[in-house]
Amino acid sequence: MAMTKVEAAKLTQDLLLRGVIETIVKESQLLQLLPFLEVTGTAVTYNREATMPAAAFYEVGDTWAEATPTWTQVTAALKIIGGDADVDNFVQATYATPHDIEAEVIASRAKAVASAYLAAFYNGDSTSDPKAFDGLTKAIPAGQTVSAGTNGGALTLDMMDSLIDLVKPGKPDALLVSRRTRRRLSALRRTSGTLMETDVDAFGQRAIFYDGIPLVVDDFISETQVKGTSAAVCSSVYALKFGQGVGVMGLENGGIQVETVGELETKDASRTRIKWYAGLGVFSELGVARIEGILP
């Protein structure tokens, strides 16, 4: 069953776990939107349609030709993300409100878990780091990419429209941009005589829309990418559909877990472990697209 982290936080009865999930959600608007598929086992294998069977027009009495589609089998593995949060017993005992210090330490580790997932979501590369999963930058095929230029170039509204047209069927569910790109896009719309649309999203937050599509600003979208001979100053815009069979989904087994490890032998402290068996599935290559090589 696919469920966002927001909905998972509503259902859990463990207040500590609920607090960790909500902390992670607050770290990124993307995690408010991204549905997660519960995976049984260490990986999920799915098929992407590679080619459609051919069809033709026939006369009465013609011999009909058989044709079959072809499929590409893809396997997305779960990876282990997590960390330990240690609380010193002396600090815990002498702190004005003991529960606050533990909550602060665990919340800090939860943010680190969120950061690790989001960094891999965009930039993960299992070739250079076998412990990580492949992110969007590696997963999006060349045919779903709009280039700003051989050696990078300035963002244009035509590029944005081309990006949206690459995602099928319908429109993307979200456009993911860095803060710098958001500023550039706002300037382009003002120059053209139109403003970015603003409205309230499903979470009651003020949101910006481009052509009716939510614009998600994420600090984990790199602004130090290289394109051709350009220096490491480029960025990207990602267009996504969410859902199994149509686009992108997060993968997980057991959701975000909080374990009490207990008292440590080597120091006067207690330990809590936060872990997440998670990954990323791109179920349809037509459900993702990217503009690459955007210069400042």
What is the pLDDT at residue 1? 45
β-strand pairing of 2-3 with 36-38 = antiparallel
User: String of b and e for 130-144 (b: at least 16 CB within 10 Å)?
Assistant: eebbbbbbebbeeeb
Q: Is the pTM of this model over 0.85?
A: no
- Residues of the domain holding 218: 143-241+286-294
* 180 shares a domain with 103: no
Verify that 121 and 202 share a domain, yes or no: no
The token duo for 137 is: 């930058």
Q: Residues 179, 216: one domain?
A: yes
- Edge-first strand order for the sheet with 174-177 is 145-147, 288-294, 235-240, 174-177, 213-217, 206-210, 197-200
CA–CA dist 117, 133 (Å, integer): 9
Q: In this structure, are 15 and 90 located in the same domain?
A: yes
Can you give the CATH number for the domain in which 236 is found?
A: 3.30.2320
Let me know if residue 64 belongs to a domain. no
Q: Which parts of the chain sit beneath pLDDT 50? A: 1, 11
Residue 169 within a domain: yes
Q: What is the structure's pLDDT at 136?
A: 92
Task: Supply the CATH number for residue 255's domain.
Answer: 3.30.2400.30
Same domain, 231 and 253: no
In a domain, residue 65? The reply is no
| Angle formed by the axes of helices 179-191 and 157-166, nearest 10° | 110
Amino acid at position 10, single letter: K
If one counts the domains in the chain, the total is 2
Burial class (CB in 10 A: 0-12, 13-18, 19+), 199: exposed
Cis before 169? omega within 30? yes
In angstroms, the CA 84 to CA 105 distance is 10
On whether residue 236 sits in a domain, the answer given is yes
Secondary structure of residue 80 in the 3-state scheme = strand
Q: Are residues 221 and 253 in the same domain?
A: no
Q: Are residue 214 and residue 264 in the same domain, yes or no?
A: no
Same domain, 226 and 278: no
Looking at the fold, whether 12 and 112 belong to one and the same domain comes out as: yes
Please give the pLDDT value at position 24: 62
Residues 234 and 255 grouped into a single domain: no
Q: Are strands 36-38 and 248-263 parallel, antiparallel or unpaired?
A: parallel
Residue 112 is classified by DSSP as H
Q: Is there a single domain that holds both residue 174 and residue 222?
A: yes
